[in-house]
Amino acid sequence: RDKNHPSVIAWSLLNEPQCTSAGTEEYFKPLFELARRLDPQKRPRTYTVLMTSLPDTSRGQRFADFVSLNRYYGWHGRPLIFTEYGTDNLSGAHKLPSVMWSAEYQNEYLEMTHAVFDHYDFVQGELVWNFADFQTTEGILRVDGNKKGLFTRDRRPKLGMHFLRQRWAEI
């Protein structure tokens, strides 16, 4: 019923911006103020921090209501939401012991990652990358597109989706 009506919990205004240089504050401040002014519901504002942007060098995080990371370096003090994590999985590939690209490997990766998330109270959210497989340009690093999805391109659930459904049902 609500498949085309996603919930918006926050506004992510920037994705991995360069935010260690002079001028960052002057650029970020009006952007974050405009987002606050335009949203009658006053949802939280965030941006995803670049891997090389550290707590003592990032000049923009004071404008965010919470910090979003695509990698974990031990930041804390504000709530953290992991905005990208996951691993590629070829639908139907099963291997024991698990190896890269197998459904078992994807599940083991998710289980280990969630154990780390659950260990820290300041981790307040998780957004696995990605909902569904999608096409990318051809290259030597991917097999026919990005396969990090929990569903195939034609929306068939992978083993990882069942794993996450159980996790989220128990929260």
Positions annotated as catalytic residues are 16, 84
Cα separation, 149 vs 134, whole angstroms: 8
Interior/surface letters 28-67, b for 16+ CB within 10 angstroms, e for the rest: beebbeebeeeeeeeebbbbbbbeebeeeebbbbebbebb
Burial, 127: exposed, middle or buried (Cβ in 10 Å; 0-12, 13-18, 19+)?
A: middle
Burial, 7: exposed, middle or buried (Cβ in 10 Å; 0-12, 13-18, 19+)?
A: exposed
Helix or strand holding residue 105 (H, E)? helix 103-119
- Phi (first) and psi of residue 25, to 5 degrees: -60, -40
What is the token pair recorded at 24?
A: 């960052």
For residue 39, the Cα-to-chain-centroid distance in whole angstroms is 23
